[in-house]
């Protein structure tokens, strides 16, 4: 059985196959509308979500399957003290595949060890968010035509932002991708990303504080929200939360073909005045997230070769 716990659970070739399938789905979603007839997806969300949970559910419904699950720990027996291991053994009797989001880093890995069905990590604490990474990869590939040869600026909360950690791990596997890490010093990427991923793999990167200084160099600008829920101190969050606000003035210095991505939700870090700029790609990214999750469900259920 195969799970998706980290973006590296898929090789570059497997990722390419999955993105090709997602692109085929994007061109003709109707063709796939009965692929999962009779199959069930469980969404086990111990943490809030709009996009990830609902896009998984939309993906399974689009494939002809059904969905069940819970959207908060409070509405599940976790509130009575049930362990993740016990919960997944139970869910394995009800569903064919599951997506789990949990505030504790590693919880989906614990689940996978006891699971009778494929487990998809839908975000674990500040650790990883592999299906957001697949969504980001599809978006970059659809917009630029390739995942090689570009400069990406990752801006905002690089310390707690799990989407950033997963995306860096995945993008270092492509050719000539340069990283510019833009954050206040308090929110720089953790050492295990800087040392163990970037430096260890001889990846070209720089760390800067001012977005204005580097925006003209970027092909992709990946904005992120300051992760309020991961701060220990409210005062510290308030001091950091509006550190970056992408507005028309900053966009004027960017390339005409630079694209702005954001995993969403956004708070203040992208001004709404940017939404109509043709370079704003974050709502397209949301749509690609559905196609990627349809492709992932088909792949993990072993149905990808039948379509
Ligand atoms: N991008 C993302 O994970 O959004 P949600 O928290 O709404 O699922």
* Active-site option among 39, 102, 129, 165: 129
Nearest CA to ligand 1 atom 6: 49
Ligand 1 neighbours (beta carbon < 6 A): 49-52, 123, 132, 263-265
Nearest to 214 by CA among 241, 238, 181: 181
Interface confidence (ipTM) of the complex: 0.98
Sites in the chain below the pLDDT cut of 70 = 1
Residues β-bridged to residue 266: none
% of the chain surpassing 70 pLDDT: 100
Q: Is 80 marked within a binding site?
A: yes
Q: How far is the CA of 164 from the centre of ligand 1 (A)?
A: 13
Which ligand 1 atom is the nearest neighbour of the CA of 47? 6
pLDDT, tens only, 55-71: 999 999 999 999 999 99
Nearest to 160 by CA among 120, 212, 124: 124
Which ligand 1 atom is the nearest neighbour of the CA of 263? 1
Q: How far is the CA of 202 from the centre of ligand 1 (A)?
A: 31
Residue 233's pLDDT is 85
Domains of the chain listed by start with CATH number:
7-128+289-306 (3.40.50.1370), 130-286 (3.40.50.1370)
Q: How far is the CA of 49 from the centre of ligand 1 (A)?
A: 5
pLDDT, tens only, 134-193: 999 999 999 999 999 999 999 999 998 899 999 999 999 999 999 999 999 999 999 999
pLDDT, tens only, 266-277: 999 999 999 999
| Tokens 């659809």, located at residue | 142
CA distance 92 to 76: 16
Give the count of beta carbons closer than 10 Å to the beta carbon of residue 152. 23
Distances (CA, A) of 72 to 78, 83, 222: 9, 15, 28
Q: Is 175 marked within a binding site?
A: no
CA distance 291 to 86: 31
Told to judge if 80 belongs to the known catalytic residues of this protein, a careful annotator would answer yes
Q: Where are the alpha helices (DSSP H) in the chain?
A: 12-27, 51-62, 84-91, 107-114, 130-144, 162-171, 191-193, 211-214, 234-240, 248-251, 282-300
């Amino acid at each position: 059985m195969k799970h998706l716990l980290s973006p590296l659970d898929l090789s570059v070739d497997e990722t390419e196959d999955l993105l090709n399938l997602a692109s085929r789905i994007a061109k003709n979603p109707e063709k796939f509308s009965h692929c999962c007839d009779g199959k069930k997806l469980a969404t086990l969300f111990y943490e809030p979500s709009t996009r990830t949970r609902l896009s998984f559910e939309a993906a399974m419904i689009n494939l002809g399957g059904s969905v069940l699950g819970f959207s908060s720990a409070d509405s599940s027996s976790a509130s009575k003290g049930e362990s993740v291991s016990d919960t997944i053994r139970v869910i394995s009797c009800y569903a064919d595949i599951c997506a789990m989001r949990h505030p504790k880093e590693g919880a989906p890995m614990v689940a996978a060890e006891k699971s009778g069905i494929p487990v998809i990590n839908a975000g674990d604490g500040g650790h990883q968010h592999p299906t957001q990474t697949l969504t980001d990869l599809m978006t970059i590939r659809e917009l630029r035509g390739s995942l090689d040869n570009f400069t990406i600026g990752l801006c905002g909360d690089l310390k707690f932002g799990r989407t950033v950690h997963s995306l860096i791990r995945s993008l270092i596997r492509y050719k000539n991708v340069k990283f510019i890490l833009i954050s206040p010093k308090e929110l720089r990427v953790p050492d295990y990303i800087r040392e163990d991923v970037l430096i260890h793999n001889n990846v070209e990167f720089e760390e800067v504080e001012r977005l204005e200084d580097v925006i003209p160099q970027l092909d992709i600008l990946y904005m992120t929200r300051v992760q309020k829920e991961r701060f220990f101190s409210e005062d510290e969050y308030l001091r950091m939360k509006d550190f970056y606000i992408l507005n028309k003035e900053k966009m004027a210095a960017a390339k005409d073909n630079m694209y702005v991505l954001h995993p969403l939700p956004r708070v203040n870090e992208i001004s709404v005045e940017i939404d109509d700029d043709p370079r704003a790609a974050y709502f397209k990214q949301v749509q690609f997230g559905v196609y990627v999750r349809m492709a992932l469900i088909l792949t993990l259920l072993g149905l990808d070769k039948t379509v």
